Amino acid sequence: MSNAFLEGDPMEDGVYLGVDVGSVSTNLVVMAPSGRIIKKIYLRTEGNPIGSVQKAFCEVAPEFAAVKVLGVGVTGSGRQLIGTIIGADVIKNEITAHGVAALRAYPEVRTVLEIGGQDSKIILIENGVAVDFGMNTVCAAGTGSFLDQQAHRLNLSISEFGQIALRSKNPVRIAGRCSVFAESDMIHKQQMGHSLEDIVAGLCTALVRNYLNNVGKGKEIRPPILFQGGVAANAGIKRAFEQELGHPVIVPEYYDTMGAWGCALLAQEEKAAYGKTRFRGFQLAEEEISVTSFECVDCPNRCEVINVHINRRPLSGWGDRCGKWQRINAEATG
């Protein structure tokens, strides 16, 4: 999905990039200095974070190759790897990135609910500062992948899932504390003759119940409440949250790219600290990038050292507790 340059955001001012590399999706935003997103890319990571970022760069390059990049921020579970490869100026965790974007979208926000493909988060905010947060641990039953699995099992596309749930008159109760129990309970409800609408609505409620029990964990959820992440597109989940919490739930305009937007905003905020960007350019889309690892035997720690190569040239390494290989690579690459 992309948007053309908006009036008042001239190209000559340059742009900031934000990249959110998750286990399920990779998001990239191009942001004008005004803070407006002028292009956004959403791709499935498909187990290949480097390849997905290269695909995103391929889509962006024709429009922005000649535009000055002022700074780059990276977040997500692949932030260390991708931040190293593309030359990120700012690398931040997802809680910080999502919190910054939420505050820019709605400065008065008190609670951020975020449900992504394989993780979920809650951020509590007081006076513009994140004061508490929570994340799911080992269970995927409160995440987008849970909904994906159940939609596939019901032979539905995830895009129609929410609208079907809204047509429900009498949602059934689904045991949603784990995906295995949910699936067996759904089969049982189908065999009892419940309608598809009522089962889908029951699944939405089960996911919300699971989220509040395992991610919320008794935290005080105060309005205004923002709901972001890819699952926020599901109207059935939004309604289930509103029914459980008793408050309106707001889905921001950039709900599916808030992490990428947040780290682009952070790259802009911290511009004075890093000065000139280290961004290596969109031509990375065409370059050969490889990652190798080895066990360092120089001391009893036996650290697993990760090395990145671009066009067979060593770029960087990490994973060593002493920093030896980082120094060696830094000296080799200047």
Alpha-helical (H) ranges within 33-93 are: 49-64, 79-86
pLDDT more than 90, % of the chain? 40
The per-residue pLDDT for 219 is 87
Average confidence score pLDDT of the chain = 85
**Mean pLDDT over residues 53-58, rounded?**
95
- How far is CA 50 from each of CA 12, 92, 230, rounded to the nearest angstrom? 29, 18, 21
**Mean pLDDT over residues 322-333, rounded?**
68
- How far is CA 209 from each of CA 112, 138, 212, rounded to the nearest angstrom? 16, 16, 5
- The pTM score is 0.84
DSSP annotation of 1: -
**Mean pLDDT over residues 267-288, rounded?**
92
3-class secondary structure, 132: strand
Burial of 220 (0-12, 13-18, 19+ CB in 10 A): exposed
Report d(CA 64, CA 59) in Å as an integer: 10
If one compares 264 and 118, the residue with the highest pLDDT of the two is 264
Q: Residue 203 pLDDT > 60, yes or no? A: yes
Give CB contacts under 8 A, 24+ apart, made by 219-222.
Answer: 219/122, 219/124, 219/132, 219/134, 220/124, 221/111, 221/122, 221/124, 221/245, 221/247, 222/110, 222/111, 222/124
Q: Residue 2 pLDDT > 50, yes or no? A: no
**Alpha-carbon radius of gyration of the chain:** 22
Q: Could you give the strand order of the β-sheet that contains 111-115, starting from the edge strand earlier in sequence? A: 129-135, 120-126, 111-115, 225-228, 249-250
The per-residue pLDDT for 139 is 60
Report d(CA 57, CA 38) in Å as an integer: 15
Helices 196-211 and 235-245: crossing angle, nearest 10°? Answer: 60
- pLDDT band of residue 115 (cuts 50, 70, 90) is confident
Q: Residue 147 pLDDT > 50, yes or no? A: yes
Burial of 145 (0-12, 13-18, 19+ CB in 10 A): middle
pLDDT digits 0-9 by tens, 6-26: 445 556 789 999 999 988 889
**How many Å separate Cα 331 from the centre of its chain?**
33
To the nearest 5 percent, what fractions of the chain are helix, strand and coil? 40, 25, 35
Report d(CA 45, CA 159) in Å as an integer: 19
Residue 260 and residue 52 in contact, taking contact as beta carbons nearer than 8 Å: no
If one compares 4 and 269, the residue with the highest pLDDT of the two is 269
Burial of 226 (0-12, 13-18, 19+ CB in 10 A): buried
The per-residue pLDDT for 333 is 52
Q: Residue 151 pLDDT > 70, yes or no? A: yes
The per-residue pLDDT for 1 is 41
